[in-house]
Amino acid sequence: MSQAPGAQPSPPSVYHERQRLELCAVHALNNVLQQQLFSQEAADEICKRLAPDSRLNPHRSLLGTGNYDVNVIMAALQGQGLAAVWWDRRRALSQLALPRVLGLILNLPSPVSLGLLSLPLRRRHWVALRQVDGVYYNLDSKLQAPEVLGNEDGVRAFLAAALAQGLCEVLLVVTKEVEEKGSWLRTD
């Protein structure tokens, strides 16, 4: 079947979960892996494994609404045979070997609001970035739809802007082999 002249090809199917409760870590994991692999229940199980004797689990919200910490993300990725590598913000982003990276998970400050009222508070928010069919996307669960970042230059520009704002942490999601060899870092 041919397309009409001037018609744009349909965009690739990009998996994107939207924000619910304080489950941004769960959404970031599923978005970076491009499928629903994790749920709130699965994240809570990881929390219990990480702190089995704790009455108040330090890896999630006291209210049970999510707000999972980096340990939960790292354990979830390990369970999938993957690894999370902290990006050292002192390195130039040109040293990042993006083709060796499955995806990125950022931890960013995020404003707090009650309905239309914005409060002068900031909380932490997990955001996934991922390449699908040669195009990088911002898969922030607070977005209505995935945001196109474009090619490697586009994702590097996005990362540079996020890191320049301060208080941004970047996790590289890589295979165990890439982690062990350190091949997420360019040597040329």
Is 168 assigned a catalytic role?
Answer: no
Is 140 assigned a catalytic role?
Answer: yes
SS3 labels along 132-180: ECCEEEECCCCCCCCEEEECHHHHHHHHHHHHHCCCCEEEEEEEHHHHH
Point out the catalytic residue in the list 24, 27, 59, 69: 24
- Give residue for tokens 């089995």: 52
pLDDT, tens digit only, all 188 positions of the chain: 444 455 444 456 999 999 888 889 999 999 999 999 999 889 888 878 877 787 787 777 776 667 888 889 999 999 999 999 999 989 999 999 999 999 999 998 776 555 565 555 557 889 999 999 999 999 999 999 999 999 999 999 999 999 998 888 999 999 999 999 999 999 87
In sequence order, the 6+-apart residues with CB closer than 8 A to the CB of 10 are none
- The arrangement of secondary structure in 23-181, i.e. its CATH architecture, is Alpha-Beta Complex (3.90)
Give the whole-angstrom CA distance, residue 114 versus residue 148. Answer: 28
Give the whole-angstrom CA distance, residue 104 versus residue 96. Answer: 11
* Residue 114: per-residue pLDDT: 56
Is 69 assigned a catalytic role?
Answer: no
Predicted TM-score of the model (pTM):
0.85
Determine which helix (DSSP H) or strand (DSSP E) holds 79, and give its type and residue range.
Answer: helix 70-79
